Amino acid sequence: MTTTTLTPSTPTAGPPRSTSGTVAPRPRRTQTRIPLTRLVGVELRKMFDTRAGFWLMASLVITNLLATAAIIVFAPDDQLTFDNFAAAIGAPMTVILPMIGILAVTSEWTQRSGLTTFTLVPHRGRVLGAKFLAATGVGVVSMFVALAVGAVGTLVGSAVAGVDPVWNVSVAHFALIVLGSVLGMLFGFMLGLVIRNSAGAIVTYFVYTLVLPPLLGLLAANQKWFADLQPWVDYSYAQRPLFDGSLNSQQWQQLGVSGALWFLLPMAVGLLVVRRTEVK
């Protein structure tokens, strides 16, 4: 008859126990927040990754080059100044930059990527802040690209015409132009927040820039009371001195009051709606 020796089996690993025999709670894993720099980088990639986004960004440079070439070819020799190059380059940018601001917001709804975005980053305010910073960065960088293209155009045009280059745009004037262009882009950003539809926001922007100013100008020409009130309530009218290169204290106040009515208040409403609306 044989004898079998039984060895105790090793207990399986389980939750740690305290000295009193009760099961100790597992330590919670701390999750680090996604840094804002990464969110901004993701939003910048969204602007460039798609074919439409790439060509929209490329159109900034293409229109700059076309406007510069048109000034060199068709403008008289005495008009080959840096100011004229800047004005010609700025005209298409005032249209393209707001489109970039609109699409930076509405892409989450029109392309139905909002559910994925806000699931990965539940704090919608941080996502919107990253979009705001990305759009502002694109606007500022594009203005410096336009500055470089305009400077090259001034040198080339002056060399072709055989005249001395005229640098009649100061640093302060350029800073005001950058501010006006960025404000235009952020106005498109605001429309994207409020409407959350690309086509609707773009149509609204063109109504605001092409239809509303002539109507308000006609009203101001025929009604004296509105002529005095227009700089305080017409945001587009209040922005024009930015591109002229100088604002006095009253014009700054008019820009602030009209901007609060047309920009800050609607943006606050849009932020509130976006943070509370259901994403489908």
pLDDT at residue 6, as a whole number: 53
What is the residue range of 151's domain? 36-276
Assigned domain for 40 exists: yes
H/E element holding 88?
Answer: helix 82-110
Assigned domain for 97 exists: yes
Assigned domain for 31 exists: no
Assigned domain for 57 exists: yes
Q: DSSP assignment of 212-244, as one string? A: HHHHHHHHHHH-HHHHHHHHHH-HHHHHHHHHH
Which of 23-40 are b and which e, b meaning 16 or more Cβ less than 10 Å from the residue's Cβ?
A: eeeeeeeeeeeeeeeebb
pLDDT at residue 2, as a whole number: 53
Sign of CA dihedral 99, 104, 107, 108: negative
Number of domains in the chain: 1
Q: Pick from 9, 163, 18: which is nearest to 77 by CA?
A: 163
Assigned domain for 21 exists: no
Q: Dihedral (C-alpha) 36, 42, 43, 44: value to the nearest 10 degrees?
A: 110
pLDDT tens digit at each of 280 positions of the chain? 455 555 555 555 555 555 555 555 666 665 677 888 888 888 888 888 777 778 888 888 898 899 989 988 888 888 888 888 888 888 888 888 999 889 888 877 776 677 777 777 878 888 888 999 998 999 899 889 888 998 999 999 888 888 888 888 888 888 898 899 899 999 999 999 999 888 899 999 999 999 999 999 999 999 888 998 999 999 999 998 988 878 889 999 999 999 999 999 999 998 888 887 776 6
pLDDT at residue 235, as a whole number: 93
For tokens 């980088």, the residue is 41
Phi-psi domain of 11 (left: phi exceeds 0; alpha: psi -120 through 50; beta: other): beta
